[in-house]
Amino acid sequence: MIPAGVGRVPAGFPSPSQDYSDTKIDLTQMLIRDELSTFIVRVSGDSMEDAGIFDGDELIVDRSIEPHDGHVVVAIVDGDMTVKRLRVTSNGVVLQAENTEYPDVEVAELSDLMIWGVATTCLHHL
């Protein structure tokens, strides 16, 4: 457990009157819903930058969550693992890049697609 500081911290002018807390926070309790089904993966590449996911960030991925349209997922397409936004359309499944420099992945009907897990949190290093 980590000592808790303050509830909220203003990003503008600091307030010297802000109270500090001696309570502890448990990051596992705050960030993980199902410990047995949750993994941390490191992102490689910049295809998800517009979603705030950068090269080297870690994603908390929960394999127990049923993937739905709009979720950021870790998917395996024909043996290749990728992080993309899941889009379910009338024409099929699209794995959408969140960077205009990258094309979306339109999953062909005969492709082998497995949604490995749903990303719930991005741990972004400063």
DSSP-assigned letter for residue 33: S
84 closest CA partner among 110, 105, 111: 105
Where on the phi/psi map is residue 109: left (φ > 0), alpha (ψ -120 to 50), or beta? alpha
CB atoms within 10 A of CB 48: 25
CA atoms within 13 A on the CB side of 126: 0
Question: Which residues belong to the active site?
Answer: 47, 84
